[in-house]
Amino acid sequence: MKIGLLLYPDCMPAGLLAFADLLLAANRRAGLEVFSLCYVAHQPGAIVCAHGVLLSAAEGLDDAALDALLVPSFWAESVQQVSTLLAANQPLLRQLARLPVPLWSYCTGVCLLAASGRLQGRVATLTWWLVDAMSRQFPEVQWRNERLWVIDQDVASACGVNGYLPLASELIQQHLGAEVFQDLQRLMVLPRPVQAHPAFQGLSLIEHASPLLRQVQLWVEDTPAEQATVARLAAALGLAERTLARRVAAEQGQPLATWVRTIKLNQVSQRLLYSRASIGQISEQLGFSSDSNLSRMFKRLTGLAPQDYRQRFGGGE
């Protein structure tokens, strides 16, 4: 599988390098070249990336025979800076629009996918501080800012500067299996910027071998908290409530209603750790009935008020 690593002026190459390291390590673990990687750009040649880093694109996008393309993030501190970069890269955006391969991106790079039109009618996620502005600019995208990463057919998006990691992990597991990625997790120093509360351990979709548990977690994450009831969940999955509760309890080891609540509060935890959003903003984003209700449930589970949790376990994206 030939994967292009896109270079464009002022892009941040750190994620490309880390993504490439993971796939090359996966090749070594498998003992064969499952993934090949190459730098590509609007046109071949040297590209000045963020902070003056100079990298060379071996091929232009129109000539590269790729199976997929990873679009990296770029440094921006305001919506205006995002708009300026998009305006300066119109030829590249037209190339992305017509490129007949899957496109993956993370953090601010998702804005390029949106501006190219490749996210039209698709579900996508985005770094939290850009959600409001991009929702207004690209209303045809089904923005899901409650999700840390989304794969919708031939496009994938992830929020945060380490968003390349879930994209790489899904790719490795798809082609080589979960065991290979678990080995890489043990052997490599993967980004782990914060340590969450023990109550939220085991809630990574990457770790779920069970299709049912993945279905349940995805549905709960996509559903506002006040609507995430066991009855609605069972109906969405086409199962009787008792059957679903019994199967989840057997596979997850806790009552279904408890797990549903924990999944939703895990989303609260992620926003406390990876964003500067206020409790009111988090409550509104995730569909809780009130800030006080969110805070009460969160403290009951973790023993900490949301602000104390943020201070103790870390914060900021």
Render pLDDT for 170-202 as a digit per residue (tens, 0 to 9): 899 889 987 888 788 777 755 544 456 788 876
Is the pLDDT score of 103 beyond 60? yes
Least confident span in 57-71, 142-156, 277-291 = 142-156
Domains and CATH numbers, the chain: 2-178 (3.40.50.880), 193-313 (1.10.10.60)
> Cα torsion for 74, 136, 124, 201, to the nearest 10°?
80
State percent of the chain over pLDDT 70.
93
Token pair for 158: 């992830």
Q: β-strands 155-158, 149-152: how paired?
A: antiparallel
Report the pLDDT averaged over residues 16-30.
Answer: 94
- Here the contacts of 303-310 (C-beta below 8 Å, separation 24 or greater) are 304/197, 306/268, 306/272, 306/279, 306/282, 307/279, 309/197, 309/269, 309/272, 310/272, 310/273
* Residue of higher predicted confidence among 52 and 129: 52
pLDDT over 60 (residue 134): yes
pLDDT tens-digit profile of 227-256?
999 999 999 999 999 999 999 999 888 899
Any residues with CB less than 8 A from the CB of 222 and at least 6 apart, and which?
A: 144, 146, 147
What tokens were used for 1? 């599988």
For the ranges 41-45, 144-148, 286-290, 291-295, the lowest mean pLDDT is seen at 144-148
153 — phi, psi (to 5°)?
Answer: 55, -110
Query: Residue 204: what pLDDT?
Result: 63
Cα(252)–Cα(244) distance, rounded to whole angstroms? 12
Q: How many CB atoms neighbour CB 132 within 10 A?
A: 12
Instruction: Give the model's confidence band at 317: pLDDT under 50 very low, under 70 low, under 90 confident, else very high.
Output: very low
